[in-house]
Amino acid sequence: MSKIIYCSIAILLVSCSNESQINNEQSNPKNLVEYTWMNVGPNFTAENLASLIDIWNNMLDEMGCSLNGANILTPKVSNEAYDFIWVHLWTSLKARDDCWETWTTKNYQSSWDGSIDGIMNYDLDNVYLFKPTTGRSPKKQNISGTFVNTFYFCNFNNGYSVTDLDIYQKELLKINSFSDLHWYVTLEPMFDSDEPQVDFIWLDLWGSEADKISDQKIWQNTDLPSKVNKMASCSPSMEGVSFMGTVIRR
């Protein structure tokens, strides 16, 4: 199912976007990033998704919502909990709260629910807000409208702490041979959860799968992988959770 969704979004990108005009908002997540879990319905198609994204963007313009952009993330490995993730890049917490309040109190939500009926659905119990901190910025702007990323949910091993993470980040910055579009952030949860919290969340982003593979080879040829393995344990594995991303608002 994930490949079908990604192909649909890729078709959407080609048919609805001018790549030379796409702003690289996904490489500059100012202030806050929010993830909403989504599932597809029986009438999900590339054409229906394109139409819904247009409707959604027009709604946000009408409401005057303040975002730096929005993306869709499709998991590379199918996940039983969701088919894809809708990402908001908010300019501030107030902007986020104001937009959601207008959405829920001014009839936009009910209109949206009618528009997406049978095509896709969202789960408001699985909406997650984070404050990103950029650890490395990309050397160039990504104007392709697509990207790949990988999340790592990690806990420190005994005897290690955020001090060791800071040291690791400084050593990582010394590598200048990564691809031009690589960058990463750490994510601070801005929500309460009954689940045990991890010590840190790391998010790597690349311009393409080829760039990811190349950069990981560079990283693996250093002593940093062994230092990470000593410092932390990540779930569900040290390989992280990977997605294919598409810009849907800029």
pLDDT tens-digit map of 74-131: 999 999 999 999 999 999 999 999 999 999 999 999 999 999 999 999 989 999 999 9
What stretch of H or E contains 225?
A: helix 224-231
> DSSP 3-state helix, strand, coil percentages of the chain (rounded to 5)?
35, 35, 30
pLDDT at 194: 78
Do residues 207 and 181 lie in contact, with contact meaning Cβ atoms separated by under 8 Å?
yes
Residue 97's SS3 state is: helix
- 118 conformational bin, left if phi > 0, alpha if psi -120 to 50, beta if neither: left
Can you tell me the distance from the alpha carbon of 51 to that of 59, in angstroms, rounded to the nearest whole number?
12
CATH class of 132-241: alpha beta
Q: Facing residues of 186 across strands?
A: 133, 202
The residue type of 131 is K
pLDDT at 10: 40
pLDDT at 8: 42
pLDDT at 249: 96
Do residues 185 and 164 lie in contact, with contact meaning Cβ atoms separated by under 8 Å?
no
Residue 125's SS3 state is: strand
Can you tell me the distance from the alpha carbon of 34 to that of 70, in angstroms, rounded to the nearest whole number?
9
Can you tell me the distance from the alpha carbon of 122 to that of 84, in angstroms, rounded to the nearest whole number?
10
pLDDT at 105: 94
Do residues 90 and 131 lie in contact, with contact meaning Cβ atoms separated by under 8 Å?
no
Classify strands 120-136 and 200-206 as parallel, antiparallel or unpaired. Answer: unpaired
The hierarchical CATH code for the domain 2-15+25-130 is 3.30.70.100
pLDDT at 25: 37
Q: What is the pTM of this model?
A: 0.88
Where in the chain are all domains bearing CATH 3.30.70.100?
2-15+25-130
One pLDDT digit (tens) per residue for the chain, 250 residues: 544 444 444 434 433 333 333 333 344 445 899 999 999 999 999 999 999 999 999 999 999 999 999 999 999 999 999 999 999 999 999 999 999 999 999 999 999 999 999 999 998 999 999 999 999 999 999 999 999 999 999 999 999 999 999 999 999 999 999 999 999 999 999 998 877 789 999 999 999 999 999 999 999 999 999 999 999 999 888 899 999 999 999 8
The residue type of 170 is K
Instruction: Retrieve residue 61's tokens.
Output: 């313009």
Radius of gyration of the chain (CA): 18
pLDDT at 23: 36
Residue 122's SS3 state is: strand
